[in-house]
Structures are given as C-alpha cells and as structure tokens.
C-alpha cells in the first residue's frame, strides 16, 4: 500500500449570513473584517481547506483543516512541504507519518498555527484511508466507541439581542436540544444579563455555557465567573488572552465555574502546561487544528488529570465534523461536542449522504473510514 497523490483544495462558500450572525455595518463583502469587541479576523465566506490523499490501489482518504481565513496558506504548506514526504509512504504508518510531518519545521519554530493545521488535515485523511483499507470505521481503529451517540451543545446563538437569543434557544428546545453556548464577551454586565435571560427562560435543566472570546482581564473574569457559578453555568470559555496561562490558573482557583480552553492550541506539548498549572478544567482541542491523532493523545493526557474534553468545532465542514464525531466517540472523558447549525447545514450540502444531528446528539457514521463521502463535483465548483 503506497501513497501516490496528495492534493489540497481551498474552498470559499458565500453566505447571506456570516459566521456568528449578520455582517457588521460597513464590513466589506469581499474582504476579511473585524467584529468588535473580538480582535480576530473574520470572513464573509465560509472558508476551509480539504486534502485528498490517494493510494496506488485507487483508495482515497479525505481530510480537512480548520481554515477560517487564508485557506491557500494551508494548501501551499500541504503541497510544498508535506506532500513530498508522504508520497511513497504506507498510509498505515500513521504515528510515524505524524512525527515525520511534525519534525519538518519543528526546529524552525513552526509547531503551531498554519503548519499544524496542514498536518492535521493530512492526519485526518490518513485515518480515513486506514479505515477504508482495513474496512473499519475510524472510531473502531481508535479503540472503540464509549457511547452510542455523541451529546452536543448548540453553539453561538447568533442573534443581536438577549430576547432574540432566548427565542432562538427555545426553538432548539422544541427540537430536543438542552445545551447552549452563548457567544459573549460584550462586557461583564451584559454577559451576565444575557446568560441570566437564558437561564430564566430555559429553566434549571438546561446546560448553559459562555464563550468570552479572550476579551477580559483577570479581575473581570473573576467577577464574571462568580456570577456564572451562581447561574449554574457549565463552563466559561476563553476569558483571558490565550498566552496567559498563569492568569487562567489563578482564575480557576478563584471561581467555581469550570474554565474551558483549547481552540488556540495544536498539540499535547501546548496543552501540557495548562494541565500542569491547573489552568483549565475542560480542554477544547479542534480536530481541524490538532488532527485526530493529537486530540486522542490530548484526551488521554487530560484523563490522567481528571480533566474533561469538549472538542471545539466551529466552521469546519463535513470532514472536520465527521472526524470530530469519531474522535469524540473514542474519548472516555468527553463532556460535550460543539454543534453549529448553520455550518452543519452547509457541510451536508457538500456530502453525498448527510451527517445527522438530532435532539441533542450526533449520530456516529458506522461505515469504513470517516463514513462520509464528499461530492467532489460540487467541491470543484466551489474551489477557491
């Protein structure tokens, strides 16, 4: 068994409604834009980067990187740096190939960011290939499924007012969903008011979570954390700059609400100090940034610290979602998996057979590999 082809495919899909809701006033439709108070760049498109790895026998494995901006960067890394070391190798040598890819630029400081995103896409494709070669779903190759279906939370609630967010959440309650994450960070008082409105409307049985998008100081986070604890919130995500592990550790000691962190990190090496310093109660690696191999290793490491996993899953499309479902099935210490309804809808438009999420749970694909097939004709039409 030998790899003969590695192709990266960047993708942009135009949408009426941007990720996290409508575009801010004045945001350019063809350019990246800022969405204050958040500091990261956002796109008017849904952007991603797929990778197609082909064997001499004609088998194909599909991978995907979480690439919400500049997916061409991931494409160039895959085709110029990673493809040459993968072609000619046996796709069954998964752990060996991960280390070969990781070592290529490691001593030059590229052990995060776009480099790891590109490695992750290839890692996912290799798992898909191995499943197809061996005739097993990926979760089985990872050691089996700890659960029959994957519990999830509805993420974002992208509406401009607290009242509208409550209305949206209630629509999902009618569909059987019981866990919700608010995209917040608009000021401590406003965040408390918003989450309080959800608690009042949804009752004590609902699981409520809050994502602060790294906008607060330690003191502000402590104030917010105490209020969220009183409201029975399941976790406070990304409250402080991601580089500041020490402040997160102090926050975790000061408040009862669990602190969640992880979408910015790519490897077990980056998560290790968070565990050692007790800076996070829940880890959130993203399969599109860390790959299946690393997320499993991060999960096992977290288990040794009695820390739960809630994998991040934002604008990754069908392959990212399927890979996340398989990985979540194989993690013993899973809390919840993220669910983005607008993204999920777009993802299924690119698949020959849709993924299923209903009544608060993802269904696990049960066929060989990741269990999903991209509509390649549709994919090529949308290629960036």
**pLDDT per residue as tens digits for the range 274-285:** 999 999 999 999
Helix axis angle, 94-103 to 113-134, nearest 10°: 160
Q: How confident is the model at residue 84 (pLDDT cuts 50, 70, 90)?
A: very high
Q: What is the pLDDT of residues 42-71, one digit of tens each?
A: 888 889 999 999 999 999 999 999 999 999
Q: What is the pLDDT of residues 223-267, one digit of tens each?
A: 999 999 999 999 999 999 999 999 999 999 999 999 999 999 999
Phi, psi of 64, deg, nearest 5? -155, 135
Average pLDDT value for the chain = 94
Helix axis angle, 218-230 to 245-254, nearest 10°: 30
pLDDT for residue 372: 97
pLDDT for residue 17: 63
Question: In whole angstroms, what is the distance from residue 279 CA to residue 259 CA?
Answer: 8
Catalytic residues: 213, 312
Closest by Cα among 293, 332, 307, 299 to 147:
332
- Residue 175 tokens, joined: 């569909």
pTM for the model: 0.95
Chain centre to alpha carbon of residue 16: 23
Domains within the chain, CATH numbers bracketed: 3-139 (3.30.390.10), 141-370 (3.20.20.120)
| DSSP E strand stretches across the chain | 3-14, 33-34, 41-42, 45-55, 60-65, 149-156, 179-183, 207-211, 235-237, 259-261, 282-283, 308-309, 337-339, 357-358, 361-363
DSSP 317-360: -HHHHHHHHHHHHH-TTB--EEE-HHHHHHHHHTBSS---EETT
Q: What is the pLDDT of residues 289-325, one digit of tens each?
A: 999 999 999 999 999 999 999 999 989 999 999 999 9
pLDDT for residue 50: 97
Report DSSP state, residue 281.
Answer: S
* High-pLDDT (> 70) share of the chain, %: 96
Question: In whole angstroms, what is the distance from residue 313 CA to residue 343 CA?
Answer: 10
């Amino acid at each position: 068994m030998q790899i003969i082809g590695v192709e990266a495919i960047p993708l942009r899909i135009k949408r009426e409604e941007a990720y996290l809701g409508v575009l801010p006033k004045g945001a350019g439709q063809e350019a990246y834009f800022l969405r204050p108070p958040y500091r990261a760049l956002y796109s008017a498109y849904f952007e991603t980067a797929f990778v197609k790895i082909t064997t001499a026998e004609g088998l194909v494995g599909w991978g995907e990187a979480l690439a919400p901006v500049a997916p061409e960067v991931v494409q160039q890394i895959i085709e110029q740096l990673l493809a040459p070391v993968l072609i000619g190798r046996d796709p069954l040598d998964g752990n060996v190939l991960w280390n070969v890819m990781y070592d290529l630029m490691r001593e030059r400081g590229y052990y995060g960011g776009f480099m790891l995103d590109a490695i992750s896409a290839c890692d996912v494709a290799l798992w898909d290939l191995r499943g197809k070669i061996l005739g097993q779903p990926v979760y089985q190759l990872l050691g089996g499924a700890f659960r029959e279906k994957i519990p999830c939370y509805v993420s974002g609630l992208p509406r401009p007012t607290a009242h509208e967010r409550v209305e949206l959440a209630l629509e999902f309650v009618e569909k059987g969903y019981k866990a919700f994450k608010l995209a917040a960070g608009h000021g401590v008082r406003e965040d408390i008011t918003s989450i309080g409105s959800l608690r009042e409307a949804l009752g004590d049985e609902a699981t409520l979570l809050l994502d602060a998008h790294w906008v607060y100081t330690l003191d502000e986070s402590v104030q917010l954390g105490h209020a969220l604890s009183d409201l029975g919130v399941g976790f406070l995500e990304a409250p402080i700059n991601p580089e500041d592990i020490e402040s997160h550790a102090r926050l975790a000691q000061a408040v009862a609400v669990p602190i969640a962190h992880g979408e910015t990190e790519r490897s077990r090496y980056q998560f290790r100090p968070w565990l050692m310093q007790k800076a996070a109660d829940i880890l959130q690696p993203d399969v599109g940034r860390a790959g299946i191999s690393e997320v499993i290793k991060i999960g096992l490491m977290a288990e040794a610290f009695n820390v739960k996993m809630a994998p991040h899953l934002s604008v990754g499309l069908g392959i990212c979602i399927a890979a996340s479902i398989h990985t979540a099935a194989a993690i013993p210490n899973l809390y919840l998996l993220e669910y983005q309804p607008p993204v999920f809808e777009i993802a299924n438009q690119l698949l020959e057979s849709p993924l299923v999420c209903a009544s608060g749970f993802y269904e696990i694909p049960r066929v060989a590999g990741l269990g999903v097939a991209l509509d390649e004709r549709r994919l090529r039409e949308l290629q960036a």
